[in-house]
Chain A
Amino acid sequence: MADEKVIEKLKELWTKYEEIDGKFDEEMDPVFKEPYYPGVAEKLFNPDKPMENRITDIGPPYFRQFLPPIIKKNYGKWVSHEIIQPGVLKYESETGDVIYVVRCGTPRLETTDYIREICDIADKYCDGYVRWTTRNNIEFHVDSEEKLKALIEDLKNRKHPNGSYKFPIGGTGASVSNIVHTQGWIHCHTPAIDASGVVKSIMDELFEYFGSHKLPAKTRLALACCLNMCGAVHCSDIAIVGIHRKPPMVEDDRIQHVCEIPLAIAACPLGAIKPATVEIDGQKKKTVRVNAERCMFCGNCYTMCPAMPIADGEGDGIAIVVGGKVTNRISPPKFSRVVIPFIPNEPPRWPTAVKWIKHILEVYSQHANKYERVGDWIERIGWEKFFELTDIPFTEKSIDDYRLAYTTYRTSTHFKFTKHIEIK
């Protein structure tokens, strides 16, 4: 089709969209039936008149147009669910309808070819509908046991060239579900650690726990590659967070040109950054000085100011936090706590971090009661017992000294005698 014709067609479709304010429900927006036209944007966008043909503030497509018919029919009418095997759920509606769901892990970082393969599967078994979960799992929906069997068989046989599963089935019930994580070295500018490589290394090692229900409760893992914590590390059962250990450097010759110095100073939560003036080649330059004694290596200054780089191959690494959760089930939501303050970056497989995570998971699995999340188990037995059972060395680094630290001190005589107490 000639570009002019295409533009005309697109205008027609836009009018249709506007008529119902984008609320496509029974029918999907017909714009998706059109193929992608690669050359049209250049015709529509005029750099000299940037507002010409510009459509703004339309939000995402109305979600109902992407719901499978059976989901739409039973919207709000589901009465119960059952996990018939790890990764496979069955839902029953008050209308008598039944739907089966197969949940698969993904690496989150993927290519359009991987998405197309998901589309191939969804087209073959699910009339083209597919859903993602909040933990980067995919869910395929089918309406019969025959389709379910064929789908599972198909998914099991799809592998990457070097043998990894493309769509491992699991992530339900008392399992380790997919790891919520961030970009790391693949695409972020402030990370202390990689993300995708660490996650791949952990999930390879914990693979059997993804596709089974043998833990005391669901166990949620997360990874954030720096303290900005784009992943929900602060409320996860077991989590990894990238940390720095060297104060930022200051580029005296560059800082006043690339940073708003007052913002860099204000960025420090501990007031460790002070304004300063230096002379470079006979010229006075505005800069800052960092009180290294006060620095807690949060990296917020670098987020605000590119002339204060903080990352360092030897300084950076992993902290492991445990015992957090989000759900209100049984006990209130709680924060994860630092138990291993530092493990060096060990690409490509991070063996020390992986070893500790697996160890913590297995000690928990061995000792916790049914339904007990990691944090609930630790609260029952006491943190001193947790350190004893896991053999994680307790250091001063696990004693809080930031805001509200006092609320974490032990202000009672309730404690257990563990190997940590040396009696003379």
Chain B
Amino acid sequence: MSEIKKHDTPMVDQLKSGPWPSFVDDIYSYGEKHKKQCAFDLMGQLELSYKHKETHWKHGGIVGVFGYGGGVIGRYSDQQEKFPSIWAFHTIRVHHPAGKWYHTAALRKLCDMWDHRGSGFVNFHGSTGDMVLLGTTTEQLEPVFFDLTHQFHWDLGGSGSNLRSPACCMGKSRCEWALFDTQEIDYELTMHFQDELHRPAFPYKFKFKFSGCPLDCVAAIARADLSFIGTWIDEIQIDQEAVKAYVNGELKPNAGAFSDRDWGPFDIKKEVIDLCPTKCMHWDEKEQKLYINNKDCVRCMHCIAVMPKALKPGKDRGVSILIGAKSVILEGAQLSTLLIPFMRLEPPYDDVKELVYKIWDYWMEVGKNRERVGELIQRIGLNRFIVDVMGMKPIPQHVRIPRNDPYIFWREEEVPGGWKRDIKEFRKRHPA
């Protein structure tokens, strides 16, 4: 092995101090231990970026594995003479298991593979959810893929204009508020849509995210083209004895989330009743009893989160499905829009698959290059999307407020006699 070449990195070195875990210490320690030049070159290039205040990675680079259109992102240094060991430093997205649980047997083996085939640097995890292996050469891409599939039975994630790796919260594995099996549907849809995940045929990216309840721990409503958020249709379950225990200070509000500050004794009126967005709750001081008008409840989870041992979501559970979230590029950020208020889910989720195909068929036909489905809905109008594309009945739940202008695109068939009129007949009644 040739001699390791180290670079002076005085600015980067300043990130070794302080209490938060230092990635610089980690990378340098790794480089020293494994005698890996890329650790020193990567830090050297970062130092140069700190000096120039600009990135030193070239634009893109089309690389991949045979038969797939995603999962690998090409990356080349623009300082290849200074930092030869990172001249090609491609990213590989490895599809995370639903809920991000692992066993060390799999993780250790992955580490061994990545030490051998790549830089040894990773992201756990990328923003979409994949494990990200940072930094290898083009020649290593097929061997990495063959290693992953043959020695791990593990596949790449999505990138480019295709279905991205779906993501979900920990769901039923550890959360009492999981209103549907987020991990199971994540896995089922991931497997069902493997072709769409690996072979880009879409106008742009498409994301599924599954959150077990309206607290939305995977940011489905902000980040997914199709957002699945658990909800219920019946009544919040109340344990009146436990409510009293909160009121009497025997149980810690919000499971102890406010423990390091003196907010005074728990006040159910101030902290629960008055903060309910629809004011659908009542605490009867005399009876020491909590009443909820469930018909007015919008299931925001606040009361349940404040008194988790006393209140539980209802028993008749399903999902709300929302569509079209994305960040600012291009037409501005969008949150997902309510499409289906309530759907009960049953494996193998055929009704969800049918819904997905319906959306994709239309988007693939009329979507412009790099137009997310949320932007397409803006372009054609939510009303047309709901009625003409989805064939659904429009309901007040689809909007926050009705339109304020009467500029309605009436359809010809809605108007008696249609749009063909005779100007001569008109002038007989109304001389010019």
Does B235 belong to the interface (CB within 8 Å)? no
Q: Are A173 and B16 in contact (CB under 8 A)?
A: no
B258 at the A interface (CB under 8 A): yes
CA distance A402 to B334 in the complex (A): 14
A119 touches B96 (CB 8 A): no
Given contacts A78-B175, A335-B335, A348-B15, contact A329 B215 (CB under 8 A): yes
A298 touches B112 (CB 8 A): no
Q: Identify which of A113, A189, A207 gathers the most chain B CB atoms within 10 Å of its CB.
A: A189
Given contacts A115-B111, A235-B219, A349-B14, A313 and B54 within 8 Å (CB-CB): yes
Q: What secondary structure prevails in chain A residues at the interface with B? A: loop
CB distance from A381 to the nearest CB of B (A): 16
Q: Say yes or no: A111 contacts B27, CB within 8 Å.
A: yes
Stretch at the interface among A34-42, A144-152, A273-281, A386-394: A34-42
* Interface range, A side: 35 or more
A210 and chain B: residue at smallest CB distance: B20
The residues of A that contact B260 with a CB separation of less than 8 Å are 86, 174, 212-214
Q: Do the beta carbons of B121 and A111 come within 8 Å of each other?
A: yes
Name which of B20, B102, B328 has the most chain A CB atoms within 10 A of its CB. B20
The answer to whether B21 and A106 touch across the interface, beta carbons within 8 angstroms, is yes
Interface string of B153-184 (1 = CB under 8 A from A): 11100000000010101101111101001010
Q: A311-B54, A370-B263 are in contact. Are A204 and B108 (CB under 8 A)?
A: no
The answer to whether the Cβ of B357 comes within 8 Å of any Cβ in the partner chain is: no
Contact partner of A67 (CB less than 8 A), chosen from B33, B146, B173, B308, is B173
| Binary contact track B368-396/A, C-beta < 8 Å → 1, others 0 | 11100000000000000000000000000
Chain A residue, CB-CB nearest to B150: A10
Are A348 and B50 neighbours in the complex by a CB distance under 8 Å? yes
Looking at the assembled complex, report how far the CB atom of A87 sits from the nearest CB atom of chain B, in whole angstroms: 11
Nearest-CB residue, chain B, relative to A267: B370
CB of B330 to closest CB in A, whole Å: 5
Q: Give A400's nearest chain B residue, CB to CB.
A: B332
User: Would you call A328 and B20 a contact (CB within 8 A)?
Assistant: no
Q: Is B85 an interface residue (CB 8 A)?
A: no
Q: Is A56 an interface residue (CB 8 A)?
A: yes
8 A Cβ contacts from B241-275 to A:
252, 254-261, 263, 271, 275
> A113 and B154 in contact (CB under 8 A), knowing A235-B219, A329-B215?
no
Q: Say whether B97 contacts A61, CB under 8 Å.
A: yes
Q: Which residues of chain A are near B147, meaning CB under 8 Å?
A: 36, 40-41
**Could you tell me the distance in whole angstroms from the C-beta of B360 to the nearest C-beta in chain A?**
18
> A182 with B127: in contact, given A63-B187, A81-B255 (CB under 8 Å)?
yes
Q: B194: CB under 8 A from chain A?
A: yes
Q: Contacts A37-B151, A40-B151, A108-B123: A122 and B104 contacting too (C-beta < 8 A)?
A: yes
Q: Do A130 and B19 touch (CB < 8 A)?
A: no
Q: Which residue from A44, A63, A300, A329 sits with its C-beta under 8 Å from B330?
A: A300
B52 within 8 A of A: yes
From 120 to 166 in chain A, residues with beta carbon under 8 angstroms from any chain B beta carbon are 122-123, 128-134, 136, 160-166
| Size of the chain B interface, CB-CB below 8 angstroms | 148
Q: Are B214 and A63 in contact, with the CB atoms below 8 A?
A: no
Interface status of A186 (Cβ within 8 A of chain B): yes
Is B109 interfacial (CB-CB < 8 Å)? yes
* Of A190-198, A285-293, A356-364, A409-417, the one touching chain B: A190-198
Stretch at the interface among B57-65, B348-356, B421-429: B57-65
Q: Which of B281-289, B299-307, B408-416 lies at the interface?
A: B299-307
Chain A 225-265, CB within 8 Å of chain B: the 1/0 string? 00111111111000000000000000000000000000100
Is A384 located at the chain interface by the 8 A CB criterion?
no
* The one of A35, A36, A131, A232 that contacts B100, using a Cβ cutoff of 8 Å: A131
Contact B102–A66 (Cβ < 8 Å): yes
The residues in B between 192 and 237 inclusive whose CB is less than 8 angstroms from any CB of A are 194-195, 197-198, 214-219, 221-223, 229
Provided the pairs A60-B155, A333-B221 are in contact, do residues A164 and B258 lie with their beta carbons within 8 angstroms? no
Q: How far is the CB of A134 from chain B (nearest CB, A)?
A: 5
Question: Knowing A32-B152, A185-B56, A328-B301 touch, does A164 contact B21 (C-beta < 8 A)?
Answer: yes
A26 CB within 8 Å of chain B: no
Contacts A108-B124, A116-B111, A229-B329 given; does A67 touch B18 at CB 8 Å: no
* Cβ contact within 8 Å between B15 and A113: no
Q: Which residues of B sit under 8 angstroms from A168, Cβ to Cβ?
A: 19-21
**Chain A residues near B134 (CB-CB < 8 A):** 109, 187
Complex CA gap A100/B298 in Å reads: 32
Are B181 and A76 in touch, CB under 8 angstroms? yes
Q: Is the beta-carbon distance between B331 and A123 smaller than 8 angstroms?
A: no
Is the beta-carbon distance between A370 and B52 smaller than 8 angstroms?
Answer: no
Nearest Cβ on chain A to B122's Cβ, whole angstroms: 6
Contacts of B359 in A (CB 8 A): none
Q: Which of A17, A59, A213 has the most CB of B within 10 A?
A: A59
A-chain residues with CB within 8 Å of residue B240 when the two chains form the complex = none
Distance (Å) between the CB of B82 and the closest chain A CB? Answer: 15
Partner of A313 from B52, B104, B135 at Cβ < 8 Å? B52
Question: What residue in chain A is nearest B119 (Cβ atoms)?
Answer: A111
From residue 110 to 127 of chain B, which have CB atoms closer than 8 A to chain A? 110-116, 120-127
When chains A and B are docked, how far (Å) is the Cα of A119 from the Cα of B107?
7
Point out the residue from B30, B60, B107 that lies within 8 Å of A306, measured CB to CB: B60
Chain A residue, CB-CB nearest to B99:
A63
Chain B CB within 10 A, most for which of A132, A204, A304, A402? A132
Contact A111 B143 (CB under 8 A): no
Which residues of B line the A interface, CB within 8 A?
Answer: 11-12, 14-27, 29-30, 33-34, 39, 42, 46, 49-50, 52-60, 66-68, 75, 89, 91, 94-116, 120-127, 129, 134-135, 142-144, 146-147, 149-155, 165, 167, 169-170, 172-176, 178, 181, 183, 186-187, 190-191, 194-195, 197-198, 214-219, 221-223, 229, 252, 254-261, 263, 271, 275, 277, 299-302, 305-306, 308-309, 327-333, 335, 368-370
Show 22 residue pairs from A and B whose CB-CB distance is below 8 angstroms, ordered by the A residue: A29-B153, A31-B151, A34-B109, A41-B146, A50-B66, A54-B66, A63-B99, A63-B187, A81-B175, A82-B256, A85-B259, A115-B122, A131-B100, A131-B101, A165-B21, A185-B54, A186-B42, A197-B15, A201-B18, A224-B327, A309-B59, A370-B263
In the complex, given contacts A131-B99, A402-B332, what are 17 additional A-B residue pairs having Cβ atoms less than 8 angstroms apart? A40-B150, A41-B143, A78-B175, A109-B121, A112-B120, A134-B100, A160-B22, A164-B19, A168-B20, A172-B257, A174-B258, A185-B46, A212-B260, A235-B219, A309-B59, A333-B216, A347-B49
**Nearest 3 pairs between A and B by C-beta?**
A173-B257, A204-B18, A306-B59
